Amino acid sequence: MKALLFEHFGEPDVLRYADIPDPAELAGTVRVRTKAIGLNFADVYRRRGNYHLVGDPPYIAGYEGSGVVEWVSPDAAGIQVGDRVAFADAPFANAELVSVPADKIIPLPEDISFEQAAALLLQGLTAHYLAHDSYPVGQGDEVLIHAAAGGVGQLLTQLCKNQGARVLGITSSSSKREAALRAGADEVLLYGNDWVQETIRWSSNGQGVRVAYDSVGSTLLDSFAATRIRGAVVFYGMAGGDPPPIDPRMLMDTSKTLTGGDLWNHVTTRENRIERSNALFEAIRRGELRLETPKRFALAEGAAAHALLESRAHAGKIVLIP
């Protein structure tokens, strides 16, 4: 089979498209011929060497994709050859064939395309737990969303709006501001301005938002400053650098809450994975969740796809097509 792989860490040019053996047929797994593969910043971090990788090179990045089942282990119940499926947490996805643990297989309805699934699931499941678990967004809540034009940001904006919230986004450029507005944000600020004071002025009571979703990290203290007394900050990423230390006395004095977030602490069973995925699929059917058409690259053009993602010049999802 063909795969996008790398022998050592570095810039996108370390990636190469090459033939490697097909994945082994292992107990408890399903072999999927991929039709679309989601590209995420985690893949960039793996390529750079920011994440610890198990085993020896060559390495294959990628954790999210969709396709058709080609082989099923005898102990994998309820899955058949020919099934349309997707997955959001299976390694070595940047390949024509992927061995996926059976408990991570998500059935893909006929009315959801392979590209939609690859563009939706990892970021959509993240947005779902953020809006339902980390802070259950409700009617009238005022919500601040960092990186609102990004994949998670656009989906989180829509989920919060569907749950009755007013949403204020923050982005880094005018073009990304327009993308966040198209996703449904009520207003969008730019990082270059004094967005903390603008957020406070935007809030209905002039005291700040009820909850701030922070995926930037280095902005964590500013997120607290933009949040009202008894508000909450949900910290779930460090795209802009490490967060500063938080003094627990500040939390006590303001009755504010800091919550951390990691998807796989919330999606822990196949049943829950499928339930949340079906909720996202149904939101698409009802028109409550809109996906911008993802940018497509052939898997063989993976280096160019990585370079575009790292440039942050593209708002929305990038998918690789084997």
Q: Which structural domains are found in the chain, ordered by start?
A: 2-120+268-321 (3.90.180.10), 139-260 (3.40.50.720)
pLDDT of amino acid 232: 98
Asked whether the beta carbons of 69 and 32 are under 8 A apart, the reply is yes
Structure tokens at 272: 């829950």
pLDDT per position as a tens digit, 266-301: 999 999 999 999 999 999 999 999 988 899 999 999
Average pLDDT over residues 248-268: 94
Number of alpha carbons in the 13 Å side-chain half-sphere of residue 209? 31
pLDDT of amino acid 272: 95
Q: Which residue carries 């058949």 as its tokens?
A: 80
pLDDT of amino acid 313: 73
pTM assigned to the model = 0.93
Give φ, ψ of 15 to 5 degrees.
-75, 140
Q: Which residue carries 């997707």 as its tokens?
A: 86
Separation between Cα atoms, residue 304 and residue 13, nearest integer Å = 9
Separation between Cα atoms, residue 173 and residue 291, nearest integer Å = 20
Give φ, ψ of 86 to 5 degrees.
-140, 165
Give φ, ψ of 115 to 5 degrees.
-70, -40
Q: How confident is the model at residue 311 (pLDDT cuts 50, 70, 90)?
A: confident
pLDDT of amino acid 64: 97
Please report how the helices 41-48 and 302-311 are oriented relative to each other, as an axis angle in degrees rounded to 10: 110
pLDDT of residue 74 exceeding 90? yes
- pLDDT > 70 in the chain, percent: 100
Give φ, ψ of 311 to 5 degrees.
-70, -20
pLDDT of amino acid 239: 82
pLDDT of residue 10 exceeding 80? yes
Give the Cβ contact number of residue 260 at 10 Å.
10
Asked whether the beta carbons of 180 and 174 are under 8 A apart, the reply is no
Average pLDDT over residues 53-81: 93
pLDDT per position as a tens digit, 195-247: 999 999 999 999 999 999 999 999 999 999 999 999 999 999 888 888 999 99
pLDDT of residue 151 exceeding 80? yes
pLDDT of residue 98 exceeding 80? yes
User: Average per-residue pLDDT in the chain?
Assistant: 94
pLDDT of residue 253 exceeding 90? yes
pLDDT of amino acid 233: 98
- Between 211 and 175, the more confident residue is 211
pLDDT of amino acid 56: 85
One-character DSSP codes across 13-75: GG-EEEE-PPPP--TTEEEEEEEEEEE-HHHHHHHHT-S---SSSSB----EEEEEEEEE-TT
pLDDT of amino acid 180: 95
Average pLDDT over residues 135-153: 95
